[in-house]
Amino acid sequence: MQNSATPTHCPYCALQCGMNLTPAPDGTVEVSERADFPVNRGALCGKGRTAPAVLSSRVRLTSPLVRSEGTLVPASWDEALDRIAEGLSRTRAEHGPDACGVFGGGGLTNEKAYTLGKFARVVLGTSQIDYNGRFCMSSAAAAGMKAFGLDRGLPFPLEDIPKTGCVILVGSNLAETMPPSLRFFSELRENGGTLIVVDPRRTKTADQADLHLAPRPGTDLALALGLLHLVVAEGRVDEAYVQERTAGWEDARAAAMAHWPEHVERITGVSVPQLREAVRLFCEPEAAMVLTARGPEQQSKGTDTVGAWINLCLATGRAGRPLSGYGCLTGQGNGQGGREHGQKADQLPGYRKLTDPAARRHVAEVWGVDPDSLPGPGRSAYELLDALGTDIRSLLLMGSNPVVSAPRAAHIEERLRSLDFLAVADVVLSETAALADVVLPVTQWAEETGTTTNLEGRVLLRKRAITPPAGVRSDLEVLNGLAGRLGVEKGFPTDPEEVFEELRRASAGGPADYSGITYPRLAEENGVFWPCPEAPEDGEDASLDAPADDPVRDAAGAAHPGTPRLFLDRFATEDGRARFVAVSHRAAAEEPDDEYPVLLTTGRVVAQYQSGAQTRRVDELNAAAPGPFVELHPRLAERLGAAEGDPVAVVSRRGRAVAPARITSGIRPDTVFMPFHWPGEGRANTLTNPALDPTSRMPEFKACAVRVEAVQE
């Protein structure tokens, strides 16, 4: 066991802040500042600082549990793994391989996500695998793929932000969701740049802005089109850039011209002078950026919405140029890597497509299987959860807590209960694990080594700093144990570096190429940005496995330096041009009416993380954020006769939730907001609408129609 400080990274969000961990006498670790990591330069939020509390055996699982006469009781690892293998085998024998489902998470390391995808396709032979990242940034990923031919959250390092001229931050509350990153935006303003925040609420982030636009939830598409209309009307299009580096402008332009500013004002509630001011701030400086987060993305039209914001960047020549570009602020610790290596329904490692014959051949060869044995694409996350108990009879779940985090959660909870067999691997007894037939206690961040890829596309080595307690095993050991029991002895190593070596080969030549990255290199450098292809061996012709003008391939010779900045010479499309999309505004899947006259939107608070499975077990964080609430405008509160702290009921077509009122003039009077971190009576997802984006299959977490009622105590 190590005694000195280990430089590593936080278990939670996509910033993957650097921290030092030193083993403490009680077996946990102490967190201390690690100033050398450029993303956070030592700064941590409260969640990162208190993360070791979840290592304590007082709050975590330390023994496998199996259901016996209705209750979960401790069992040996052999018994637990045998039961899971039996459960999955029985389902496969009775209903076929596609009746076995697998659900993963964007918090899993690259090694785990890769192995989980391989396990589903090779061991279970099922097409039914997806993960919680579908609920996160899938709309931005789909839009980025369409426009640029590649999806990497940020196409530049965060360090570029202070040097640009203007940033439009659309639906991100990073002052609460990524606090150490706020520094980049303060520095931007100190350097004379401007910040525009688009959010229906005056958040802590909006407080920092030069201009705050507060649209009705679900109207970002109209807003972006209105801005583009003004860009054209005011003669601010960069014609030479559009000519040289893009395709599809005429149709996109025509679509935007149909969105008159006055019309956009009526849809969004953002005034025409504010629209004009935003265009001026965005267009006047030499360089500018648009960054989106969950606000515009978690909509049933999230892909088109992000596409419209990308259009704005393309029309003004603000993509693929230094200090300019569009980026998505990915959310989970490995939100980026977790979407690249095959736990997604339609995907193979290296961000390859499961439907591409060449991709299938390449990966099947690495896996030592027949390409024809690989199943095709399966259902998306919500559709998979919705099929539990009907088409899907058994589920293996790793790294998500859908009882709290899935839309229309009461229905999903009921689907989980209707399964023939549910196995959950988790570090704590989450609300979802509590429903399982078998629960496996797994190691967590400080106790195991693995790589994550942060929101900048920077691949990082998260190093083990302490010895895990007896009784827990890693997710890789779990998958190895299950594979063996299901008749696949080889190909499921338990050493993360060995898995990474295989991942390198599987990703080689793919869009997210990690083949030039190694553990020793990651330990030495502060992360490496993908794509990072392996330098060809002496005498080998680099052009053999890459198109001659492939932007990601370096000349033969020295180790590839990685790619901090994408698209500077060309976009990753076949012809190197970015694609405009011709999109028009449309309403949310559920708009307010007489019965449900108010819009509900949902999101986060700084002291809790996601479903709260981990952070609700930390005293300091619970003291700061003890429970759910309903944020509402004083006018709405007055109409209800509700005072601060009074319980109010929020009712949608899916159900009813009750939480204390939090009254603020910082929210639109036609909108209420609830954070989604809690189960039970105040569960926001009891209310949310699982209407899906047609392309990304992202549910509409950010807009549904509700009625708000006073509750008699």
The residues that touch ligand MGD, with contacts defined as CB under 6 A, are 13, 105-108, 132, 135-136, 170-174, 176-178, 198-201, 203, 217-218, 220, 293-296, 298, 331-332, 398-402, 404-405, 425-428, 430, 442, 444, 475, 601-604, 606, 608-611, 613-614, 673, 676, 684-685, 688, 701-703
C-alpha distances (whole Å) from 359 to each of 215, 347, 375, 470 are 42, 9, 13, 41
- In the complex, minimum distance from the CB of residue 248 to ligand SF4, in angstroms, rounded to a whole number: 37
Q: In what order do the strands lie in the sheet with 394-398?
A: 71-74, 65-68, 438-441, 421-426, 394-398, 100-104, 129-131
Nearer to ligand SF4, 48 or 509 (CB): 48
- In the complex, minimum distance from the CB of residue 474 to ligand MGD, in angstroms, rounded to a whole number: 8
When CB distances are held under 5 to 8 angstroms depending on the partner's kind, the choice from ligand MGD, Mo ion, ligand SF4, none that residue 10 binds is ligand SF4
When CB distances are held under 5 to 8 angstroms depending on the partner's kind, the choice from ligand MGD, ligand SF4, Mo ion, none that residue 580 binds is none
Residue 237 as a binder of ligand SF4 (CB under 6 A): the answer is: no
- In the complex, minimum distance from the CB of residue 454 to ligand SF4, in angstroms, rounded to a whole number: 8
When CB distances are held under 5 to 8 angstroms depending on the partner's kind, the choice from ligand MGD, ligand SF4, Mo ion, none that residue 396 binds is none
- Please provide the DSSP assignment of 615-683 as one string: GGG-HHHHHHS-S--EEE-HHHHHHHTPPTT-EEEEEETTEEEEEEEEE-TTB-TTEEEEE----GGG-
Beta-bridged to residue 663, according to DSSP, are: 632
Residue 291 near residue 170, CB atoms below 8 Å: yes
In 382-437 the beta strands, taken as DSSP E runs, fall at 394-398, 421-426
- In the complex, minimum distance from the CB of residue 292 to ligand SF4, in angstroms, rounded to a whole number: 18
For Mo ion, what does the binding mask look like between residues 321 and 360, x meaning CB under 5 A? ----------x-----------------------------
The whole-angstrom separation of Cα 210 and Cα 232 is 23
Residue 31 as a binder of ligand SF4 (CB under 6 A): the answer is: no
Nearer to ligand MGD, 270 or 517 (CB): 270
Residue 204 near residue 173, CB atoms below 8 Å: yes
Nearer to ligand SF4, 12 or 103 (CB): 12
∠ CA 703-704-706, rounded to 5°: 135
Residue 16 as a binder of ligand SF4 (CB under 6 A): the answer is: yes
- In the complex, minimum distance from the CB of residue 110 to Mo ion, in angstroms, rounded to a whole number: 17
Sign, Cα dihedral of 269, 274, 276, 280: negative
Stretch that binds ligand SF4, among 37-45, 152-160, 186-194, 528-536 (CB under 6 A): 37-45
The whole-angstrom separation of Cα 677 and Cα 281 is 36
Residue 10 as a binder of Mo ion (CB under 5 A): the answer is: no
- Please provide the DSSP assignment of 26-49 as one string: TSSEEEE--TT-TTTTT---HHHH
Nearer to ligand MGD, 23 or 331 (CB): 331
Residue 275 as a binder of ligand SF4 (CB under 6 A): the answer is: no
- In the complex, minimum distance from the CB of residue 172 to ligand SF4, in angstroms, rounded to a whole number: 13
- In the complex, minimum distance from the CB of residue 671 to ligand MGD, in angstroms, rounded to a whole number: 8
For ligand SF4, what does the binding mask look like between residues 130 and 169, x meaning CB under 6 A? ----------------------------------------
When CB distances are held under 5 to 8 angstroms depending on the partner's kind, the choice from ligand MGD, ligand SF4, Mo ion, none that residue 688 binds is ligand MGD
In sequence order, the 6+-apart residues with CB closer than 8 A to the CB of 412 are 385, 386, 388, 402, 403, 406
Nearer to Mo ion, 571 or 609 (CB): 609
Stretch that binds Mo ion, among 90-98, 128-136, 315-323, 545-553 (CB under 5 A): 128-136
What is residue 11's three-state secondary structure? coil
| One-letter-per-residue 3-state SS of 423-457 | EEEECCCCCCHHHCCEEEEECCHHHCCEEEECCCC
What is residue 341's three-state secondary structure? coil
Residue 476 near residue 534, CB atoms below 8 Å: no
Stretch that binds Mo ion, among 134-142, 169-177, 300-308, 634-642 (CB under 5 A): 134-142
Give the total residue count for the chain.
Answer: 713
Q: If 0-12 CB within 10 Å is exposed, 13-18 middle and 19+ buried, where does residue 38 land?
A: middle
Nearer to ligand MGD, 464 or 577 (CB): 464
528 phi and psi angles, rounded to 5 deg: -130, 130
Residue 100 near residue 421, CB atoms below 8 Å: no
H or E element that contains 411: helix 409-417
- What are the tokens at 159? 């360090």
Residue 1 near residue 464, CB atoms below 8 Å: no
Nearer to Mo ion, 217 or 331 (CB): 331
Q: If 0-12 CB within 10 Å is exposed, 13-18 middle and 19+ buried, where does residue 190 land?
A: exposed
Q: Which residue has the closest beta carbon to Mo ion?
A: 331
Nearest Cα neighbor of 429 from 54, 34, 16 is: 54
What is residue 421's three-state secondary structure? strand
What does the buried/exposed string (b/e) look like for 398-416 if buried means 16 or more CB atoms within 10 Å of the residue's CB? bbbbbbbbbbbbbbbbebb
Question: What residues numbered 42-81 form the site for ligand SF4, per CB under 6 A?
Answer: 44-45, 47-48
- In the complex, minimum distance from the CB of residue 385 to Mo ion, in angstroms, rounded to a whole number: 16
H or E element that contains 460: strand 458-462
Nearer to ligand SF4, 182 or 640 (CB): 182
- In the complex, minimum distance from the CB of residue 278 to ligand MGD, in angstroms, rounded to a whole number: 13
Residue 618 as a binder of ligand SF4 (CB under 6 A): the answer is: no
Nearer to Mo ion, 34 or 152 (CB): 152
- What are the tokens at 574? 């076949």
User: How far separated are the first and last CA of the chain, in Å rounded?
Assistant: 55
Nearer to ligand MGD, 200 or 533 (CB): 200
When CB distances are held under 5 to 8 angstroms depending on the partner's kind, the choice from ligand SF4, Mo ion, ligand MGD, none that residue 144 binds is none
In 236-294 the beta strands, taken as DSSP E runs, fall at 246-247, 289-292
Nearer to ligand SF4, 174 or 535 (CB): 174
Q: If 0-12 CB within 10 Å is exposed, 13-18 middle and 19+ buried, where does residue 121 land?
A: buried
What is residue 72's three-state secondary structure? strand
In sequence order, the 6+-apart residues with CB closer than 8 A to the CB of 305 are 139, 143, 220, 221, 224, 296, 297, 299
Nearer to Mo ion, 14 or 637 (CB): 14
For ligand SF4, what does the binding mask look like between residues 180 and 219, x meaning CB under 6 A? x---------------------------------------
- In the complex, minimum distance from the CB of residue 408 to Mo ion, in angstroms, rounded to a whole number: 18
When CB distances are held under 5 to 8 angstroms depending on the partner's kind, the choice from ligand SF4, ligand MGD, Mo ion, none that residue 401 binds is ligand MGD
- In the complex, minimum distance from the CB of residue 38 to ligand SF4, in angstroms, rounded to a whole number: 13
When CB distances are held under 5 to 8 angstroms depending on the partner's kind, the choice from ligand SF4, Mo ion, ligand MGD, none that residue 701 binds is ligand MGD
Question: What residues numbered 673-692 form the site for ligand SF4, per CB under 6 A?
Answer: none
Nearer to Mo ion, 282 or 609 (CB): 609
Stretch that binds Mo ion, among 132-140, 499-507, 574-582, 699-707 (CB under 5 A): 132-140
- In the complex, minimum distance from the CB of residue 332 to Mo ion, in angstroms, rounded to a whole number: 5
For Mo ion, the binding residues (CB under 5 A) are 136, 331
For ligand SF4, the binding residues (CB under 6 A) are 10, 12-13, 15-17, 40, 44-45, 47-48, 178-180
